[in-house]
Amino acid sequence: MTPLSVKKILEKIWVNFLDSLIYLCYMKRYIKKLLRENFGYRAGDLINKAEVKSMFSNTIRSTGHFGTGFYFFGNEDDAKAYSKITGNRGVSVINLDGYNLAKGDYKLHDLLSGVNNFSSDSDLAYSIESVLRHFDKLKKSVDNFGHVRNVDAYNNLSDEDKIKFDNEMSDNIKISLYNKNIIKDIINKIHSNNNDSPSTTLMRYIGFDGVDVRGTDLDNARYGSVIYNIK
């Protein structure tokens, strides 16, 4: 084997080694991305919550309505940048596996703002009902006899339809009472909770652990994603 042949073999080995190294680096970044794609990045610690109930007292807030908790970014660089301009608080990584997060958008934020900015219990009840219906969490009344709006229309029904109409009216009264009791229970929980904002109490009542806006134009310091409690 000539020196030239040996040189070519060594060059080929070196090229193959470099190709393998580049591939391994790529795979490392790819695997890291896969492992961290369900993570959130918070500028700050996981001890002190943001947007507590007292911040909504006697004032009309335009943001923070997704709830009281730990706000985070979907992008680590955004969290680092926000940390630098807010006192170098560092970045906390949150594993989002196992959390039931509502998909956040402008509509949900507006609905929740009505819950936080209420002026009376009747106003609060209306806002709560709007959010519950948004998530389809209230029973729906039945209206098979929408054309029956007066006594004459009722009297024109057959005896069989009159029975169906009466049963439907009775069922709808029960459904209305059921929905009102749910709303009343939520209002009581809101008034008894001195730490969480009203929207937080409502969302947790529904069964959510927070709100997720990653991948949307709300993934920023103005709105952001939030987890109510760290597991």
Give residue 66's pLDDT.
Answer: 97
Tell me: do 59 and 130 sit in the same domain.
yes
Number of domains in the chain: 2
Tell me: do 72 and 115 sit in the same domain.
yes
| Range(s) of the domain holding residue 24 | 1-37
For residue 58, pLDDT beyond 80: no
* DSSP H or E stretch at residue 95: strand 91-95
Question: What is the identity of the amino acid at 11?
Answer: E
The pLDDT > 90 percentage for the chain reads 67
Tell me: do 158 and 59 sit in the same domain.
yes
Tell me: do 13 and 117 sit in the same domain.
no
Tell which wins on pLDDT, 27 or 52: 52
Tell me: do 154 and 205 sit in the same domain.
yes
Q: Contact, 93 vs 39, CB < 8 A?
A: yes
* DSSP H or E stretch at residue 203: helix 198-206
Tell me the C-alpha distance between 192 and 186, whole Å: 10
Tell me: do 20 and 49 sit in the same domain.
no
The mean predicted confidence, pLDDT, of the chain is: 88
Give residue 18's pLDDT.
Answer: 57
Residue 43 structure tokens: 């500028």
Give residue 193's pLDDT.
Answer: 95
Axis-axis angle for helices 121-134, 159-192 (nearest 10): 110
Tell me: do 53 and 151 sit in the same domain.
yes
Instruction: Please name which of 150, 149, 104, 129 lies closest in space to residue 202, comparing C-alpha atoms.
Output: 129
Tell me: do 102 and 203 sit in the same domain.
yes
For residue 191, pLDDT beyond 80: yes
Task: Look at strands 39-43 and 91-95 and give their pairing.
Answer: antiparallel
Tell me the C-alpha distance between 138 and 34, whole Å: 38
Tell me: do 49 and 151 sit in the same domain.
yes
Tell which wins on pLDDT, 107 or 27: 107
Tell me the C-alpha distance between 157 and 162, whole Å: 6
Find all residues with CB under 8 Å of 199, minimum gap 6, and list them.
65, 66, 67, 112, 113, 115, 116
Residue 119 structure tokens: 């002026």
Query: Tens digits of per-residue pLDDT, 59-87?
Result: 677 889 999 999 999 999 999 999 999 99
Query: Tens digits of per-residue pLDDT, 87-118?
Result: 988 999 999 999 999 999 999 999 999 999 98
Tell me: do 28 and 123 sit in the same domain.
no
Query: Tens digits of per-residue pLDDT, 128-180?
Result: 999 999 999 999 998 888 888 888 888 889 999 989 999 999 999 999 999 99
Tell me: do 53 and 129 sit in the same domain.
yes
Tell me: do 48 and 1 sit in the same domain.
no
Question: pTM (2 decimals)?
Answer: 0.79
Task: Look at strands 39-43 and 70-72 and give their pairing.
Answer: unpaired
Give residue 35's pLDDT.
Answer: 47
Tell which wins on pLDDT, 5 or 46: 46
